[in-house]
Amino acid sequence: MAKIIENHIGRRMIRLSSDDIIMVVQQYQQICRNRTLDFLSAKNMLEDNLLYLPEEV
Protein backbone atom coordinates (compact mmCIF):
# COMPACT_ATOMS: atom_id res chain seq x y z
CA MET A 1 0.00 0.00 0.00
CA ALA A 2 1.15 3.51 -0.77
CA LYS A 3 2.10 5.59 2.24
CA ILE A 4 2.16 9.39 2.23
CA ILE A 5 5.16 10.77 4.10
CA GLU A 6 5.34 14.42 5.14
CA ASN A 7 8.76 16.00 5.53
CA HIS A 8 9.88 19.04 7.52
CA ILE A 9 9.18 21.55 4.74
CA GLY A 10 5.64 20.29 4.21
CA ARG A 11 6.18 18.58 0.89
CA ARG A 12 4.56 15.17 0.64
CA MET A 13 6.24 12.09 -0.75
CA ILE A 14 4.50 8.86 -1.62
CA ARG A 15 6.28 5.68 -0.67
CA LEU A 16 5.33 2.80 -2.98
CA SER A 17 5.66 -0.87 -2.20
CA SER A 18 6.72 -3.34 -4.86
CA ASP A 19 3.05 -4.43 -5.07
CA ASP A 20 2.06 -0.82 -5.86
CA ILE A 21 4.62 -0.59 -8.65
CA ILE A 22 3.53 -3.91 -10.14
CA MET A 23 -0.12 -2.77 -9.99
CA VAL A 24 0.74 0.45 -11.88
CA VAL A 25 2.68 -1.50 -14.52
CA GLN A 26 -0.22 -3.94 -14.95
CA GLN A 27 -2.70 -1.07 -15.34
CA TYR A 28 -0.39 0.57 -17.90
CA GLN A 29 -0.14 -2.71 -19.83
CA GLN A 30 -3.94 -3.09 -19.86
CA ILE A 31 -4.44 0.47 -21.12
CA CYS A 32 -1.74 0.24 -23.81
CA ARG A 33 -2.07 -3.45 -24.74
CA ASN A 34 -1.46 -4.51 -28.31
CA ARG A 35 -0.10 -1.11 -29.27
CA THR A 36 3.36 0.14 -30.04
CA LEU A 37 3.48 3.64 -28.59
CA ASP A 38 6.10 6.33 -28.45
CA PHE A 39 6.40 8.43 -25.29
CA LEU A 40 3.96 11.17 -26.31
CA SER A 41 1.32 8.72 -27.53
CA ALA A 42 1.53 6.72 -24.29
CA LYS A 43 1.39 9.94 -22.24
CA ASN A 44 -1.71 11.13 -24.10
CA MET A 45 -3.41 7.77 -23.71
CA LEU A 46 -2.66 7.66 -19.98
CA GLU A 47 -4.01 11.19 -19.46
CA ASP A 48 -7.44 9.86 -20.45
CA ASN A 49 -7.22 7.03 -17.88
CA LEU A 50 -6.83 7.75 -14.18
CA LEU A 51 -4.70 5.41 -12.06
CA TYR A 52 -5.31 5.17 -8.33
CA LEU A 53 -3.20 3.73 -5.53
CA PRO A 54 -4.73 2.72 -2.19
CA GLU A 55 -3.28 4.67 0.74
CA GLU A 56 -2.13 2.99 3.92
CA VAL A 57 -4.03 4.40 6.89
Position 5 scores a pLDDT of 80
Structure confidence by residue, pLDDT tens digits, 29-57:
888 888 888 999 888 888 888 888 777 76
Structure confidence by residue, pLDDT tens digits, 10-23:
778 888 889 989 99
In a domain, 27, yes or no: yes
Q: Say what the pTM is.
A: 0.64
For the chain, what is the domain count? 1
Position 22 scores a pLDDT of 93
Give 2-9's long-range contacts (Cβ < 8 A, gap of 24+): 2/53, 2/54, 2/55, 2/56, 3/55, 3/56, 4/55
Position 15 scores a pLDDT of 86
In a domain, 54, yes or no: no
Residue range of the domain that includes 21: 3-47
